[in-house]
Amino acid sequence: METETKGPQWWFKIKRYMRRSLYVFLFLCFLLFVRVFLFQIYSVQGNSMYPTLEHGSVVFVWKAGFAISAKFFGTELLYTEPNINKLDLVLFVSQEDELVVKRVIGLPGEFYSIEAGRVLIDAKELLENYLPKGTYTSEPSTSVFLNRHHSPFLAMDKQGRIPPGYFLLLGDNRQYSTDSRSFGLVPVEKIKGKVIFYF
């Protein structure tokens, strides 16, 4: 009688353990899916986005629709067309393979011009209320960029039209920001997500 009860109890324990392990595995797969395809939390490094973001600011990034890294193939995979609007804050991969937050200033097809410390888009001065009063936007200097061969980034001049699939990104702290003025226009596949909340 004793051996008859031990057998089923042992089997029930195994089934309960396997069921719990399956739940844990599915939960971990869900978290991985969210992290890769939907959502990311990122801590800002440096003050290139000051005063909007400071060093150590935490941003919540929405990744749905943006390119994912396909390290195995050594490239970026863009699985759909991302929704990127002017003045959005976006997270992208720099030429140094670092994650960086900058602001979208120019969209594909737009004509940009940087003159007398101002940014003009399609011949109209861009209204940038988030910048401190008196902010001066210096002209592009892509000397660092031009030393990099086979870079997906596209060198920019003082003015020009943004090609399809590229974006003009600038930091809010214009005097101390390394942005499109130095590394060029950013290809859409390097943009990993849009900042939806920060503190």
Predicted TM-score (pTM) of this structure: 0.80
Q: Which regions of 55-165 does DSSP assign to beta strands (E)?
A: 58-62, 68-70, 75-77, 89-93, 99-106, 111-115, 118-121, 124-125, 159-161
Catalytic residue flag (residue 48)? yes
Write down the catalytic residue from 6, 15, 21, 48: 48
pLDDT in tens, 46-61: 999 999 999 999 999 9
**Of residues 63, 102, 190, 192, which has the active-site annotation?**
102
Gap between the Cα atoms of 149 and 94, Å rounded: 15
pLDDT in tens, 72-127: 455 666 666 789 999 999 999 998 889 999 999 999 999 999 999 999 999 999 99
Residues 170 and 52 sit within 8 Å (Cβ to Cβ): no
Q: Which among 116, 101, 105, 104 is positioned nearest to 50, based on CA atoms?
A: 101
CA nearest neighbour of 183 among 148, 140, 151, 142: 142
